[in-house]
Structure 1
Amino acid sequence: MIAGSKIVAFGGGHALGNPPLAALWDRDQDPIAGLDCVGQLLKVVGRVLPMSREPLEIQGRLRTWEGAQVVRGQKEVALARGELEELTLIPENAKPTEEGLRAIADADFLTICPGSWFSSVMPHLIIAPQRKAICELKARKILILNWPANVTNPPEELGDTGAANHLEVIRTFAPDFKCDFAIADQIITGGELISSQIARNSGSDQHDSKKLALCSREIMSAEVIR
């Protein structure tokens, strides 16, 4: 978790590996003090905060053709094949840091960034007190979807099942989470999503033919100009 300038970001892409962090943790017996020390050394803008003060491990229960299977560990859960039925953190009663909860409460924007879906994204939405803080937050929430797998970026998590399945994991295990914006490259969606007011009126479940025609004309005109 990176907090700064009223923005809180969850995600991967950490430039510093785990060994230096583990060494500082062992020295100070405090992950927050260790991360603050690293932040000062690297002149980090903002503050890097751990989700919990205790080491956590992710565990998943899957339904496969052989029956139920329990796997533990980020890589093991990410590469497992089958229908994911349960996703938990070990220990299950882990507490989030007060510093992290305060940063969330004070944020004007919250971004869930690209990264390992099972080690950098979902843990923040599994630990109950933090999920509650995120879901109840009035600040705008931005979800940034991972880049799709290809030849240079081989499929790993969720068996290369696409962005829809990543969203389904969130919907299944954090159903109260709602984002205000989702950012994805066009190559992920296969096209461009057009958001427009096309209902007859507020609360209607029917299209307004004039609004729909105007929206269609704008799309066609833009394509002709392009």
Structure 2
Amino acid sequence: MGTQEEPRVVVIGGGTGMPVLLRGLKSLPITLTALVTVADDGGSTGRLRSEMDIPAPGDIRNVIAAMSDVEPMLIELFQHRFSMGNGLSGHSLGNLLLAAMTSITGDFFTGIKEISRVLNVKGEIYPISNENLLLHAEMEDGTIVSGESKIPLAKKRIKRVFLSPQPAEPLTNAIEAIEKADLIVISPGSLYTSILPNLIFPQIDEAILNAKAKVVYVCNVMTQEGETTDYTASDHAQAIIDHVGKNSLDAVVVHNEPISKKIQSVYAEENAKPVQFDIERLMEMGLEVIEGDIIDHQQYTLRHDTNKIATLLYSLVTKTSKKGE
């Protein structure tokens, strides 16, 4: 199958969940595009953002590592985090390289393209925006918390998230990728701080609502304290719909097998528990429910299984029409 004939799959997200999906998808006969959040402001990423006034490089770095096809040692080097040194401690080499390439090229997106070329990335990686943006959350009690890393720490129920400065400009390539996609996948990850920041750009939400492709959300397996405490699968989906618009989602992928008591006890220490799979509510919302055993049972921490989820998503590529068309 030639490149022009390969189905176009667009994955939108950030955090730890997105690279898991991408590692499996990159080896399939598809044209793969990743649209990545730039709202992170913690750790090495936060320091580089404030010192160099660039978009957040951390999630981009992890996506480059997931989609690259080079010797493992080179990826290990790219992901290496310095543990000592007055200026280097806490920084990852990949973040520093992205910052340096942005300085050299004068443009964050161009910097990503150059590093992607060097690391033989399979597919395209676009930051959702070229701007240095700040994420804010309005809580249900009316208070506003600013900064991606601070939002979960408030441990309040979140009403909505929004970005500043406004108007925020999405990358044109990101909009075009959504418009041309045959399948759009919203990755698992921190719902309000890694996923929704990508979806709340005015032109991005319009592109998703008007997309010809099916929009599929891969739901988190565990809740996250300070973001999705006690959330069911339908609560996750409803948050996306509330932010993006009615009919923004077509299907939800959920894990339908029990989580071992041993793993549950580990997550209980973080006040996290398995996401309740409320199929009736999801169906009432008009969503197609795609269920299966999609976690990696060999991992001590819960992660979607790279190959299982890639195979499942690839099987959906031939069913690309939006509801009602």
Please confirm whether the aligned pair reaches a TM-score higher than 0.5, indicating the same fold.
yes
* 2:186 paired with 1:77: no
Is the contact between residue 216 and residue 250 of structure 2 (CA under 8 Å) also seen in structure 1? yes
* 2:33 paired with 1:31: no
* 2:152 paired with 1:52: no
* 2:197 paired with 1:132: no
**Matches of 1:43 and 1:104, distance apart in 2:** 23
Number of positions where the alignment pairs a residue of Structure 1 with one of Structure 2: 185
Is the contact between residue 232 and residue 276 of structure 2 (CA under 8 Å) also seen in structure 1? no
Question: SS of the counterpart of 1:49?
Answer: strand
Query: RMSD of aligned C-alpha atoms?
Result: 2.6
Q: CA deviation at 1:156?
A: 5.2
**Matches of 2:131 and 2:125, distance apart in 1:** 16
Larger Rg: 1
**Matches of 2:192 and 2:123, distance apart in 1:** 24
**Which residue, out of 231, 236, 245, partners 1:161?**
231
* 2:9 paired with 1:7: yes
Query: What amino acid is the match of 2:195?
Result: V
Paired position in structure 2 for 1:143 = 217
Paired position in structure 1 for 2:241 = 171
Paired position in structure 1 for 2:168 = 94
Q: Which runs of 5+ in 1 are unaligned?
A: 197-226
Q: CA deviation at 1:177?
A: 4.4
* 2:177 paired with 1:103: yes
Query: What amino acid is the match of 1:70?
Result: I
Q: CA deviation at 1:119?
A: 3.5
Is the contact between residue 79 and residue 159 of structure 1 (CA under 8 Å) also seen in structure 2? no
Deviates more, 1:42-51 or 1:79-88: 79-88
**Matches of 2:276 and 2:230, distance apart in 1:** 14
**Matches of 1:19 and 1:5, distance apart in 2:** 34
Q: CA deviation at 1:169?
A: 1.7
**Matches of 1:177 and 1:76, distance apart in 2:** 31
Question: SS of the counterpart of 2:188?
Answer: coil
Query: What amino acid is the match of 1:143?
Result: Y
Deviates more, 1:19-28 or 1:46-55: 19-28
Q: CA deviation at 1:34?
A: 1.1
Given the two structures, how large is their TM-score scaled by the length of structure 1? 0.71
Q: CA deviation at 1:117?
A: 1.8
Q: Which runs of 5+ in 2 are unaligned?
A: 1-5, 20-61, 66-93, 259-274, 284-325
**Matches of 2:153 and 2:232, distance apart in 1:** 14
1:69-120: CA deviations, max 9, x gaps?
1101112223433343342111120111111111111111111111222333
1:161-194: CA deviations, max 9, x gaps?
343332232122222343222111014445777x
Q: CA deviation at 1:127?
A: 0.7
**Matches of 2:195 and 2:109, distance apart in 1:** 19
Given the two structures, how large is their TM-score scaled by the length of structure 2? 0.51
Is the contact between residue 115 and residue 121 of structure 1 (CA under 8 Å) also seen in structure 2? yes
**Matches of 1:81 and 1:155, distance apart in 2:** 7
**Matches of 1:158 and 1:76, distance apart in 2:** 15
Query: What amino acid is the match of 2:203?
Result: P
Question: SS of the counterpart of 2:158?
Answer: strand
Question: SS of the counterpart of 1:157?
Answer: coil
Question: SS of the counterpart of 1:169?
Answer: helix
CA separation of 1:19 and 1:75: change in aligned 2, threshold 3 A: same
**Matches of 2:233 and 2:97, distance apart in 1:** 33
CA separation of 1:18 and 1:158: change in aligned 2, threshold 3 A: farther
1:60-75 correspondence runs (5 A):
60-64=137-141, 68-75=142-149
